[in-house]
Amino acid sequence: MVLDPAATAGLGDSAAPTLAARHGPPLCSCPTPTPALRCPRGARRLSETGAVMRRSEGAGMRGGLRAAASLPHIARGRGEEGGGRRSPCLLVALRPCNVEAERERFFRASFAYDPQFEYAEPVPAAVLDKYAVASDRFVAQAIRIIRAVLEKYGTYESFEVATGGRLLSKCQIWSVIRKYMQKEGCVGEVVVQLTDDLLSQAVMMVEDSRPTLAINLAGARQHWLEGMLRHEIGTHYIRGVNNTRQPWHSSEGRKQYSLKPANPTEEGLASLHSVLFRKQPFLWRAALLYYTIERASRLSFSALFQDLEQYVQDAGIRWEYCVRAKRGQTDTSQPGCFSKDQVYLDGILRILRHRQTIDFPLLAALGKVSYEDVNRLKKFGVLEKARIPHFMQDLERYMKQLDHIVTTNCLNEEELEQLLPD
């Protein structure tokens, strides 16, 4: 996403010593946060509101939140002229509009039915073609990660309860969000919505030209929510803000500097940050998404659902994974997949393979760039006042956590080098 310079107004000027010494111009810590949020009283279904952290009609909320109109503005790219709200993101646009009706029919048929999905708008053929082919390159690693979780916890459901903790209420979610936004110094900059309409745990998107974070209520668990915020705010949003300062912030600039695509680095980095400080940082979700998509490319919806039973007993969870893998299809009796979600494990493994040579704070500071471009771009980057996620400030601890992720997920250096040679 491309932020207007207003999005970065008000950044502090305090230096980050370790980076300043290594890269010249000083990098700043995030600004002093504004006072905290309060949990809104009597909030409606939040996916139906234009802005969630806002003042109640007729009365100001305590805590000094910015009104929605004063939130950072996102500049439209070329070809995006026109009024009205844009489709919020690919994940939302590709959710079938009859998904609940087809779910009910699928369950009534005892899972012996292939859903016939409908979409509010035609799915662009270019999008479907781009993500029509699945990779099997890391299937063995995905299966090993899945089995390691099951060996330790018995079932996915036990893993979820043991490591995720209880589901949080809306007020508890607001409290966690408030504290995290304070850590990153971005209170009042991002609109937050709570919803049950996402196929993902959460997503950063642009609505009405404002940075907006939508969080799936079903995934907001006690020990997982902060990881979700590290993923969406600490990675996607902060790298997006930093990107606006760089000479490659536009498509023309990316071409001029011959940048590689931001993915799989972007999603791989964000996914690592999701599990970064867990005691047992299993990469279950990235692994199961990768496996599910590879199998979806070969199987019908009902056959895929049956195949996943060996790893996930809960029929509702299996349904969600199958819908994600089959989104974009209308007749799911045919083999086929939407392969976008394979980017998570792909990016994770590439970053872990090269973690000893990646300058992670610089990777954040330079914006939406691949780890492969960091060393080449650092002499051109605008580093003054760049934001660095709070959890990267202690780089020694950060690197130890990456090592812990490698060990926990039964990976090793030799294997990664063979999979991803220089």
CA 100 to chain centre: 24
CA 66 to chain centre: 25
> Strand, coil or helix: what is 209?
coil
User: Does residue 384 contact residue 29 with C-beta atoms inside 8 Å?
Assistant: no
DSSP string, 296-355: HTTS-HHHHHHHGGGT---HHHHHHHHHHHHTT-SBTTS----GGGGHHHHHHHHHHHTT
Distance (Å, rounded) from C-alpha 159 to C-alpha 153? 5
Among 184, 226, 232, 294, the one annotated catalytic: 232
Nearest to 288 by CA among 418, 160, 191: 160
Distance (Å, rounded) from C-alpha 287 to C-alpha 127? 23
Distance (Å, rounded) from C-alpha 345 to C-alpha 348? 5
User: Does residue 363 contact residue 374 with C-beta atoms inside 8 Å?
Assistant: yes
Nearest to 197 by CA among 23, 49, 62, 72: 49
Report the 3 state secondary structure along 223-282. Answer: CCHHHHHHHHHHHHHHHHHHHCCCCCCCHHHHHHCCCCCCCCHHHHHHHHHHHCCCCCCC
- Tallying the residues shown for the chain, one arrives at 422
User: Does residue 213 contact residue 233 with C-beta atoms inside 8 Å?
Assistant: yes
Find all residues with CB under 8 Å of 122, minimum gap 6, and list them: none
**Is 118 part of the annotated catalytic residue set?**
no
Active site amino acids: 232
